[in-house]
Structure 1
Amino acid sequence: MEIKRTHCDDIFKCYSTCALVANGDLKLLFATEDKGPCYSYSAADLNKKEVVWEGPGGTMSIVEIPGKSGEFLAVQQFFPTFNAPESVIVWGKYVDGQWVIEKFIDLPYVHRFDILHVDGVNYFVAGTLCTSKKDRDDWSDPGKILVGILPDTNTQSIELISVQDKLTRHHGYSRGYWNGKRAGFFTADEGVYVLTPTSDRISTWKTEKLLDRRVSDISVFDVDGDGVDELVTIEPFHGNMFCVNKLIDGEYKIVYQYPNEIDFAHVVWAGLFNGKPTIFGGVRRMNKELFMIRYNQDSKQYDLTEIENGGGPSNIFIVNQPDGDLILCPNREKGEAIVYKVKE
């Protein structure tokens, strides 16, 4: 395995990342969760930097809009720590060689969101960490899963409907598939829930509970190649356990746990990396490591590889490429935007 590490920039409390195509160029976005900027870098030449915005910051998530080249949605004004009564979703567009950012909607305490493209419709799905707060340790007003049909432009309105409420520390989200259909997976103290969009009215949609444990973050993929997806979880909230959960006799059971002592795990991703089923994990305290896990078909065990330590990653974004996949890594604790190119 050959890993090339590129330091794109120093960004204080660098937290969010995303990749999208604008004017035929793959652009890699990195943003701070504090007050400050979001920058983009050309994947073809990481020295080519553009300002997406200089502020206000507070960016938890950035998501490309399906079917719209150079357009995305992002969270702004969700500041540390859980200071988000005025958080919003903004709509970004790449116009005439520069980024144009406009407000879309107010959405207090929105932490994770996504756009699920199903049967020609873009569904906006969002998870609020909570609904209100008296102070950072107040969790008395739980969060919700909100859904609406994304309009064509930010000047059009959207109606958001709650399909699940009473979700305490509603922190994690992952896009995936469930029963062969595009779905979103949400996590909270109450467990793991899956939401599968249908053609029925959104008000009739129901979530399904998959796991009854306190879960902070999740990714869902068939990591051992048996045809059934595993749930890869961080437990509990900002937790000290990184687990692979396998469906055994109708129940999800832990079959692997990251062996090193950790605190404040925050990155979990599972999918195809360089064509192989792969898990990535990251931790924001102690060794602050980024690591990779793969199931070994010969030994029937999980193999662990450390990519780096000391950075304290907050999220990652994977870009599949024919000449080696990319890991976009905001090292929140070190305050840097990193891109790894990995060849195997």
Structure 2
Amino acid sequence: MQFKKIFSDVLDHCYAVMRLKDGKGDFLIVASEEDSACIAYDLNNNLKKTVVWPDVGGTMTLVQIPNSLNFLATQRFYPGFNSKDCQIVKETFDDGKWKQKIIGDFPYIHRFDIIKKRDEAGFWFIGCSIANSKINSEDWSDPGKIWVGEYDDNQERIRNLHALKIRITKNHGYKRMCGYSLVTGVEGIFKLDYPTRENDWRITKLSSNETSDIFSADVNGDGKKEYLTIEGFHGPYLRLSDEKFHSLVQTKEKTPFGHAIWGGKIGNQECFIFGWRDGKRNLVLISDDKIDMQVIDEAVGPSNVLVYNKNGVDYLLSANREINEVAIYKIDFRN
């Protein structure tokens, strides 16, 4: 599998990435974690560039509102992790431009999501705070919370917002799965089940390993998903575990400030993409259960990545934060 860089653009401290697609449009969205822009690249118009917002930044998470070109985003998650002024905003696509509305203040919210309700109209809201309060960026004495509620898109507000009883230190990772979500932190990996008519929100501990981020893919082809986890807060190690979170292998070489992580199918092969932001700062492909790494790009320091397919061709979008580069790589399966 070969990766060829076919597009490069400059965006200061580029961080959050998302594909935004419905029947009317198809965009790649990339936002800065500093006082900089959020940019939309039009996949239907030769990656034509539109500024969604010019500054503010501090964007950790982007979430599409289903069946629309509208999305929710965090802003003002700075400086560092001392982000008491963090907000969630809604961007509404109208006549080729996005219009912004502030949904509310959400101090320290690093990852969030909206989940379509199974048995009724509307969305569940999940907001994971990296801490509950801070004296400074290095203060972790007041662990974060998982905030839940209901997102009302018509009224553009979150109702019945409340925190679950659990507290998680240095919560950084969140992954939407099929019917539940995974949340990670110092205390381990947790499964968050959404409410049903019979049960309220439920959270179950799956692993006690300190975990920064998590993704799943069936890299060994046994029909069962494996989990790739960044261990410690931003690393410095990777671990691959089976579907029951029994460890298969841990990297020996350090991957300091491990951050970018994605898992899924490229062509007919399940694999992971991973990148770290210190040391070698490489972007790599992992396609086996031994965590062997094929270098995609060197010394780019990626923050977040995603793989997408357009017109039958697979591409990799990478926010190469440490060199302020938005990059797209075409994926070729020829040897």
Partner SS for 2:239 = strand
Task: Report the equivalent of 1:190.
Answer: 187
Task: Report the equivalent of 1:256.
Answer: 249
Partner SS for 2:175 = strand
The alignment's TM-score, normalised by the length of structure 2, stands at 0.92
- Corresponding position: 1:233 with 2:229: yes
Q: Distance in 2 between matches of 1:312 and 1:271?
A: 21
Q: Distance in 2 between matches of 1:201 and 1:5?
A: 50
5+ long unaligned stretches in structure 2: none
5+ long unaligned stretches in structure 1: none
Q: Distance in 1 between matches of 2:174 and 2:157?
A: 26
Partner SS for 1:137 = coil
Alignment of 1:45-84 (within 5 A): 45-67=45-67, 69-84=68-83
Task: Report the equivalent of 2:42.
Answer: 42
Once the two structures are overlaid, the 10-residue window that deviates more, 148-157 or 313-322, is: 148-157
Per the TM alignment, residue 228 of structure 1 is displaced from its structure 2 partner at its CA by 2.8
Alignment of 1:295-334 (within 5 A): 295=288, 303-334=292-323
Task: Report the equivalent of 2:98.
Answer: 99
- The amino acid across from 2:171 in the alignment is H
Alignment of 1:81-160 (within 5 A): 81-119=80-118, 120-153=121-154, 155-160=156-161
The one of 257, 260, 263 aligned to 1:267: 260
The alignment's TM-score, normalised by the length of structure 1, stands at 0.90
The C-alpha deviation readout for 1:10-66, integer Å capped at 9, x for no partner, is: 111111111112662210111110011101101234441001001211000111112
CA contact (8 A) 2:25 2:69 kept: no
Question: Residues 213 and 101 (structure 1 numbering): CA distance in 2 closer, same or farther, change over 3 Å?
Answer: same
CA contact (8 A) 1:274 1:343 kept: no
- The amino acid across from 1:252 in the alignment is F
Partner SS for 1:58 = coil
Q: Distance in 2 between matches of 1:164 and 1:224?
A: 37
The one of 286, 292, 302 aligned to 2:285: 292
CA contact (8 A) 2:58 2:77 kept: yes
Per the TM alignment, residue 142 of structure 1 is displaced from its structure 2 partner at its CA by 0.7
- The amino acid across from 2:168 in the alignment is L
Pairs aligned (count): 331
Task: Report the equivalent of 1:33.
Answer: 33
- The amino acid across from 1:102 in the alignment is K
Partner SS for 2:242 = strand
Per the TM alignment, residue 106 of structure 1 is displaced from its structure 2 partner at its CA by 0.9
Once the two structures are overlaid, the 10-residue window that deviates more, 252-261 or 99-108, is: 252-261
Partner SS for 1:333 = helix
Partner SS for 1:141 = coil
The C-alpha deviation readout for 1:291-312, integer Å capped at 9, x for no partner, is: 11112xxxx7554311111110
The C-alpha deviation readout for 1:252-272, integer Å capped at 9, x for no partner, is: 232133454321101222112
- Corresponding position: 1:200 with 2:197: yes
